[in-house]
Amino acid sequence: MAKFSYIALDAKGKEISGVLESDSTTAAVSRIREMGYFPTSVKETDKDKKVGKMATGATLAGPAAPKKGFGQIEIKFLGGGRIKSKVLTSFTRQLATLIDAGLPLLRGLDVLRKGEKNVVLKNTLVKLAESVEGGSTFSEALAQHPKIFNRLYVNMVRAGEAGGVLDVTLTRLADFQEKAQKIKNKVISAMVYPSVVVCVALSILVFLMMVIVPKFQEIFRDLLEGKELPALTQFVLGVSNLIKNHFLPVLVGIVGLVILIKVLGKTQPGRYLLDRIKLNLPVFGPLIRKVSIARFTRTLGTLIASGVPILQALNIVRETSGNAVLARAIGKVHDSVKEGERIIQPLEASGLFPPMVISMVDVGEETGALPDMLMKIADVYDDEVDNAVAALTSLLEPIMIVFLAVIVGTIVIAMFLPLISVITTLGGAGG
């Protein structure tokens, strides 16, 4: 027998390691699962079987690199990049249907590979089949492609494998992806109208300031003969001169500001600050908050319902929350649960969740139906996001119209104030 060193996760998501003797890697993985653990890395350690170890590692991890455990992946994706969420959702649902129909996993992957048009996913399916055929579990094979299958995806599949309900888990995962994409599309659609209007407004403003206003400035110089202009007119002419004479520096300054915000968002303090500002925006803040709550509750509910341990599920939700403020709050929930306390106290202390959410989570904890309650909260907030998007769209239309009217109107008034003065002077002289 050969000796194998392993790294695995227990039921609480804690990482453990050890050494055991077994005939093969596949048998070692089976033994680890019988012990109640989820194996993430299994490697042969016998010195006299160095060659065998290398061969086994190449088989498990595919031709690119030795086998890596979950969370230790260093393999670069050879297919060339990511795939669209819609493509991944379709693959997930089709695979769930094939497995539910009784097809073995390898056969299902082969069927989907033959009909797949996306080159990146097709190449990935080949590698997944090779890894599974070489003795890896499906979740371990997925973990080798982190650009396509994130931690949430891998851990849900791992839980489905452990519980023998892979088809149910994949169906649940496809539902989750579809609803998440639906929310994302609605938020994007709500942003399209104001973005277009703002771009049009800026284009009109630049045109007026660089072409029209300078012509009025020449007229004022000839007609007023050095007389002082109204304050509003002076302000508009000053802005016009700034844009016309320093257009490039202004443009560079705007681009630099955008880059600075992007760079700031890459740091933890900067990202936290920006996400805090987003949550407190006057119009978009409530919508962003509702989207974040819906995403948090649906992700956590889906993971727990799929059999992922609560601590591991909270870690995954924290990493996939998409908001640093919410991620920090989830981290406190994780620490609280790890100490044997309830979820409810840190959720309430964060100040991010409305009383209704707190109450429903409280009931879910007490009744042992937390996953169902979390999914109900997500459904409620999905509806609220729908209503908020509709209300925001109807509200933004008049706001944008007023915004454009104020900008153009201010410029028109500023240009006609001196002309009124000239007309009044000419009228007095003629009388």
The CATH number given to whatever domain includes residue 193 is 1.20.81.30
Task: Indicate the pTM of the whole model.
Answer: 0.61
Q: Are 6 and 26 in contact (CB under 8 A)?
A: no
Q: Are 254 and 262 in contact (CB under 8 A)?
A: no
Q: What is the phi/psi pair of residue 242, to 5°?
A: -65, -45
Is 62 part of any domain? Answer: no
Domain identity same for 251 and 138: no
Name the domain count of the chain. 3
Domain identity same for 136 and 277: no
Domain identity same for 260 and 241: yes
Q: Are 3 and 41 in contact (CB under 8 A)?
A: no
Domain identity same for 276 and 168: no
Q: How many distinct helices (H) and strands (E) make up the chain?
A: 18, 3
Domain identity same for 244 and 347: yes
Domain identity same for 154 and 224: no
Domain identity same for 296 and 402: yes
Q: Are 299 and 317 in contact (CB under 8 A)?
A: yes
Is 78 part of any domain? Answer: no
Is 74 part of any domain? Answer: no
For 113, the domain range is 85-176
Q: What is the phi/psi pair of residue 9, to 5°?
A: -110, 135
pLDDT tens, per residue, the chain with 431 residues? 788 888 776 665 566 788 888 877 777 777 887 787 766 677 777 544 433 333 333 333 333 333 333 333 333 333 345 788 888 889 988 998 988 888 888 888 888 888 888 888 888 899 888 888 888 888 888 888 888 888 778 877 887 787 677 888 888 888 888 888 887 787 787 778 778 878 888 888 888 888 888 888 887 777 776 677 888 888 888 888 888 888 788 788 889 988 988 888 888 888 889 888 888 888 778 888 888 888 888 888 888 887 888 888 888 888 777 788 888 888 888 888 888 888 888 888 888 888 888 889 888 888 888 888 988 998 888 888 888 887 877 777 788 788 888 888 888 888 888 877 777 766 655 55
Q: Within its chain, how far is the Cα of 141 from the centroid? A: 23
Element (H, E) at 41: strand 38-44
Domain identity same for 255 and 162: no
Domain identity same for 169 and 185: no
Residues 6+ apart with CB under 8 A from 309: 9, 10, 11, 12, 13
Q: What is the phi/psi pair of residue 22, to 5°?
A: -160, 165
CA distance 246 to 340: 62
Domain identity same for 169 and 193: no
Domain identity same for 162 and 204: no
CB atoms within 10 A of CB 224: 15
